Structure 1
């Protein structure tokens, strides 16, 4: 009997070897190697400089009818091609010119589907493509990622899929992550030799992905189910109770591409900040006229609870208060003011405004002052009457909307994002998705989508002590790798840890004033907030004068230093000027900044740095003006929770 079993096993292995096919591609610089094995199932692995980083990834898709992907798979043909082109983003949140260079392996399978793999210098990606024309349901998408022993993660743990996706990044060994623990994307995995940042892009008409643990070094993909019923009896303005879900994750029709699964791979943390992979793998621009899309800064009301003072009227949700915001914005070259929660007649009656706030008058007054108005709106009532609401706002003269409290990642919600973006593009309205999942490629298709939240940002200062300097130097490497983030910086009440107090009406930030100022260079956000009260900003005009010089879009980005959760220093160019932002965690640091990226000549550098007493009094800062050139090496000295920022004028200081 044992002899028969041995013979059968041998025959099975021989058959597997006969039908097993292996394919390999390397990145253009040859440092990353991706190997694909097809032996009925589909798996792949990736290495960096010959060190295995992703040990094995098993992938596939199961459907209600037709051919499953990755089951009894047989390759009909394959091709390997090199590609190189230039992408020029409409809204350059990082670089105005992106070199899109990669090697692509295309596998065409029996059963009318393809699988594309790409190897870039900064990572790999794969995408399934369905060539059939049938209607069917996606029952599940399979992806099991196995990392080498000892792998760890920066784990944005979720309690449920109905979520704002605003999380802290927990440092956890993969073997410590149980099967009932899961996280949203992006997520970073750490091996002995490199890190992997995993996320998705080109997400259209399909649910967003999460990954869960199982007590080993393997992580598995999961998705929210297709939503069949919502409890409409509960009178909730922003939250939903899902009462019935399908046993599938998506309905699909006809031939289509599925999302790109993106894996940035590097042994240098700076790569995750510099990488444009999620943009490169997005679908191309879908609108013709983009001249009207204007990024800029925003004077924002909700963080500071409309607390203005030193005026001869009662501040709050009223016309006089918002005219004060507009006057502040106008006098400081701030392009926008947001009317956040409270401007509508109620949170559900959003076609009419609060009787104390004359919205058309504010829009008229703003235009007179060269300041545009953006209107906050809840997703639920907007989704129920999208076209009429947006056309009404457009008729008033609003420039855009801030959509809040989506909280879902299922197929319907993903489609709703695109529906909103498309309709707003038709009406020439900007979109800021707040209460959202991470950017997933939509901003390239519809560049009027200028920002996403999906990040645990400064508004949490109002009710928690979770927004620490360590968190602030973690998110640029992880969340920001997916795209711009609506963190809402600019707090002027700054405290060291021992002095911090939670105050909803008068919030304060952890870390120094220079830490906040540096965010305007470090954090990517084409629509960037100034979160504090105009009354406070007037008293801190020197800080505002510095911030108001910093652009919100960039021509070039260079990361000078970076370690996830420890520190970061970024240099960005806009036109003929360079801007540098550096931030640290609770550890005081000195970072040497090499200015060799400058051209020949002498230049003026205006520096905003921690004051000598910032370790005790976080609002202490100093502004210096010095002369530098391309041979200069400047030391950015930062206090605990500190920062450092500079503006370099590309004009000879002697002229």
Structure 2
């Protein structure tokens, strides 16, 4: 990976992307470290602070650059479950070696690809005042993201600890701003979560972090401060019910996770970025060939009353009829069905070509959520017993809910669950949780996390059904751009009830819901059909759901604006292209699409003027273009 090495002694040091368009400049002027970024000569990032507060000393001021080295990075990898199955990552790297006035040494490593910046801090084992230091506490960062004036935001507030239902928050389930000014204070006074999307006067920026393991805490963004921008913030002391540290503790030599910034003059680099995975490594090998697929889920509409043996048989039969691979059995199954009958249910599912996924409370004392099973996932001894049983009855995955925040101790729990589950051939979905940070590549049995105000809220209240269009046209550019997202359901019922006649209605069209199965990315996708849908849906909708891919070879941006509309193309790992569009606006959206790059596409699924779903033959003009209208809260699929 090291292609060249150059020593630089100037106060300012620079590194540019392989194509030369993205340039990062680092300065130690007046003893404080900062960086800027330009794209095609346009300022994208104003001077933004760098530095750490540590138990070894203050590494935010009275700093000097000792030397720096330039190198090149070339990394090709394959993985399942994200927007691209094969990636060739090329970047230029800059290592800056620094010290403070007391001689405390540290480094910053920048890697700059054509539209992405990733950087992290590194600290060596070192001797200070005749004492050798082999460990350090990282107390805070001043790492900043200072965007130009006039930038607007699509960001979600961090909520305080032990809030929400049964003190289960923070859980990354708050709403997003919509082109809001940067100086608008966060709703709860705790800053903002990752990922965070910004609309600059000169383009777009997506900020996040990746590579968080059991060896570090998760972080988020502070509130905006004029002149400084946003700063990396560590967990609140009250998270995890007050247990654990609000700082990170690492051995030396050691390093922080990566802070990432994706920059583009358009939204194309934002939607297509793979930086979350480019700079991390696999932590362990898969114990088995984990299968992607689709799952049914009774709880979304049926809630707790549906967690009984007979209803779960109905949803297993539904999965079998649709050719889906899995059925998720949600909370209270140990009490409402019992372990012996769950073993019977798993055997029945397998006889129908379906495997079960089982829900668990993460437990411990960090929340008051009463749902069971509890005390099964919070210790190594309990996990080994439970996962051995699950493996013995043929269960293929678990959904673990209600975590305690972003402290290092909680990150260790995530990693321990994943590692132990891999030993027993179990895939893992997290809910009520933090956002994934490169985990699809780091942990091969990791599927997705919720970490979003997801589909269950459509059942809870009509407000979420009204905002569904905004949410699902935003997340391809934000939440789902950096990590897999378990939204929790392509919903085909017209009403949020088991009889499909009562309670409040879904506000999106059938084609919108079908298209969301392509615009949302996760390797095990929830299709929240109900058994009644087998008799209610048009045949072409059923056919599409039966063929719906969940793993992708390539993803391309076509058009869109966060919260308004999105049009994107994905090439499935079976080689077929799918183009999907969603329109969250109040007016029809007329588009002219150039399809020459996407091979032999023959069918169009769209809503007509009466908002009814139709499938027609695709009609291209002589230049390979088509004209299509996506109705309000409607969708489009070309295949």
Q: Displacement of 1:152 after TM fit?
A: 1.9
Give the structure 2 partner of residue 379 of structure 1. Answer: 362
Contact 2:81/2:292 (8 A) holds in 1? no
Give the structure 2 partner of residue 646 of structure 1. Answer: 638
Give the structure 1 partner of residue 221 of structure 2. Answer: 211
Distance in 2 of aligned mates of 1:139 and 1:504: 55
Alignment of 1:191-206 (within 5 A): 191-204=200-213, 205-206=215-216
Contact 1:462/1:504 (8 A) holds in 2? no
Give the structure 2 partner of residue 583 of structure 1. Answer: 582
Contact 1:127/1:258 (8 A) holds in 2? yes
Q: Displacement of 1:250 after TM fit?
A: 2.0
Give the structure 2 partner of residue 322 of structure 1. Answer: 312
Distance in 1 of aligned mates of 2:502 and 2:47: 50
Distance in 1 of aligned mates of 2:255 and 2:156: 28
Q: How many residues align?
A: 587
Distance 1:159 1:488, change over 3 A: same
Give the structure 2 partner of residue 170 of structure 1. Answer: 177
Q: Displacement of 1:193 after TM fit?
A: 0.6
Distance in 2 of aligned mates of 1:511 and 1:86: 40
Selected match of 2:251 from 239, 250, 253:
253
Select between 104-113 and 620-629 the one with higher mean Cα deviation: 620-629
Q: Displacement of 1:374 after TM fit?
A: 0.6
Contact 1:92/1:555 (8 A) holds in 2? no
Select between 138-147 and 558-567 the one with higher mean Cα deviation: 138-147
Q: Secondary structure at the match of 2:384?
A: helix
Distance in 2 of aligned mates of 1:317 and 1:504: 21
Q: Displacement of 1:67 after TM fit?
A: 4.4
Distance in 1 of aligned mates of 2:396 and 2:608: 39
Distance in 1 of aligned mates of 2:225 and 2:571: 45
Q: Displacement of 1:50 after TM fit?
A: 1.4
Q: Which runs of 5+ in 1 are unaligned?
A: 1-17, 231-239, 308-314, 346-352, 615-619, 648-655
Give the structure 2 partner of residue 572 of structure 1. Answer: 570
Select between 291-300 and 178-187 the one with higher mean Cα deviation: 178-187
Selected match of 2:194 from 181, 185, 205:
185
Q: What are the Cα deviations for residues 278-327 of structure 1, in whole angstroms up to 9, with x where unaligned?
A: 11122x123334552111100111112169xxxxxxx8332222122112
Distance 1:225 1:492, change over 3 A: closer
Distance 1:140 1:289, change over 3 A: closer
Distance in 1 of aligned mates of 2:471 and 2:563: 6
Distance in 2 of aligned mates of 1:245 and 1:356: 34
Q: What do you get for the CA RMSD once the two structures are aligned?
A: 2.6
Contact 1:298/1:336 (8 A) holds in 2? yes
Give the structure 1 partner of residue 415 of structure 2. Answer: 418
Q: Displacement of 1:394 after TM fit?
A: 1.7
Q: What are the Cα deviations for residues 561-609 of structure 1, in whole angstroms up to 9, with x where unaligned?
A: 121122111111122311111001123101222111134xxx3522221
Give the structure 1 partner of residue 349 of structure 2. Answer: 366
Q: Secondary structure at the match of 2:548?
A: coil
| 2:145 paired with 1:145 | yes
Q: What are the Cα deviations for residues 138-165 of structure 1, in whole angstroms up to 9, with x where unaligned?
A: 2212223322222221120233254110
Selected match of 2:14 from 21, 24, 36:
24
Distance in 2 of aligned mates of 1:468 and 1:331: 28
Q: Displacement of 1:181 after TM fit?
A: 5.1
Distance 1:507 1:256, change over 3 A: farther
Selected match of 1:556 from 554, 560, 568:
554
Distance in 2 of aligned mates of 1:628 and 1:549: 24
TM-score, scaled to structure 2: 0.86
Alignment of 1:537-556 (within 5 A): 537-540=534-537, 542=539, 543-556=541-554
Distance 1:563 1:211, change over 3 A: same
Selected match of 1:33 from 23, 48, 53:
23
Q: Displacement of 1:559 after TM fit?
A: 1.4
Q: Secondary structure at the match of 1:56?
A: strand
Contact 1:318/1:356 (8 A) holds in 2? no
Contact 2:267/2:557 (8 A) holds in 1? no
Q: Secondary structure at the match of 1:413?
A: helix
Distance in 1 of aligned mates of 2:200 and 2:633: 28
Give the structure 2 partner of residue 310 of structure 1. Answer: none
Distance in 1 of aligned mates of 2:501 and 2:149: 45
Contact 2:273/2:482 (8 A) holds in 1? no
Q: Displacement of 1:73 after TM fit?
A: 2.7
Contact 1:86/1:100 (8 A) holds in 2? yes
Give the structure 1 partner of residue 490 of structure 2. Answer: 490
Contact 2:160/2:190 (8 A) holds in 1? no
Contact 2:473/2:565 (8 A) holds in 1? yes
Contact 1:438/1:482 (8 A) holds in 2? no
Give the structure 2 partner of residue 637 of structure 1. Answer: 629
Give the structure 1 partner of residue 110 of structure 2. Answer: 117
Q: Displacement of 1:494 after TM fit?
A: 4.1
Contact 2:619/2:626 (8 A) holds in 1? no
Give the structure 1 partner of residue 372 of structure 2. Answer: none
Distance in 2 of aligned mates of 1:339 and 1:278: 31
> Following TM superposition, where does structure 1 have runs of at least 4 consecutive aligned residues deviating by more than 6 angstroms?
none
Name which one, 1 or 2, has greater alpha-carbon Rg: 1
Give the structure 2 partner of residue 221 of structure 1. Answer: 232
Give the structure 2 partner of residue 235 of structure 1. Answer: none
| 2:86 paired with 1:97 | yes
Distance in 2 of aligned mates of 1:544 and 1:73: 63
Distance in 1 of aligned mates of 2:580 and 2:23: 34
Contact 2:294/2:527 (8 A) holds in 1? yes
Contact 1:608/1:644 (8 A) holds in 2? yes
Distance in 1 of aligned mates of 2:226 and 2:402: 34
Give the structure 1 partner of residue 77 of structure 2. Answer: 87
Contact 1:297/1:530 (8 A) holds in 2? yes
Q: What are the Cα deviations for residues 63-99 of structure 1, in whole angstroms up to 9, with x where unaligned?
A: 22x244344333333111222332211x142112212
